[in-house]
Structure 1
Amino acid sequence: MSELQDRIVTQLVRDHGGTKRDWKRIVGRIRLYDPATHPHCNWALDPSGTPRENAVVERMMDDWRLRVRIVTPG
């Protein structure tokens, strides 16, 4: 699990309950893009839970994208 994914999953568990395993499955893999083509935010994810779970993740991601704009692989 990437560091960013781990931080996101940890916050979801803390804020909304459930298990790390479930939220990791819902969050899925984080996709990284080249900062040259995505200078404002070079990462994205596509949650795959229920509509309610996906809405929780998307609302949280709006905040995270403002705080963590550029991510490097590793």
Structure 2
Amino acid sequence: MTADGIIDMLVARLVRDHGRSKHHWRKVIGRVRLYSRDTHPHCNWAITPAGSAQEIAVVETLMDDLRMRHPLLTA
């Protein structure tokens, strides 16, 4: 899985489950930060969402679910 792929998955689920536009959720999600597998062998990616408290909570809950299925991303 790639960083772009994980964002696409997040956006699709957010639009389906919570409405709003793809553009809106991409702004809330922000960018994916990738880390070296040498220093982060269990999960090498992170997202720092920005938006309302409710939007951030929704994104973080979904991120936890996706981290379990896709812990390691490629550039």
> Above 0.5 in TM-score?
yes
Deviation at 1:2, TM superposition (A): 1.4
Match of 2:44 among 42, 45, 69: 42
Match of 1:6 among 2, 8, 21: 8
Deviation at 1:35, TM superposition (A): 0.9
Unaligned runs of 5+ in 2: none
Deviation at 1:5, TM superposition (A): 0.8
Backbone CA RMSD of aligned residues:
1.1
Unaligned runs of 5+ in 1: none
SS of the aligned residue for 1:58 comes to helix
Identity across aligned pairs (percent)? 49
**TM-score if structure 2 supplies the norm length?**
0.92
Tell me which stretches of 4 or more aligned residues in structure 1 moved more than 3 Å.
none
Structure 2 distance, partners of 1:28, 1:55, is 14
SS of the aligned residue for 1:2 comes to helix
Deviation at 1:14, TM superposition (A): 0.8
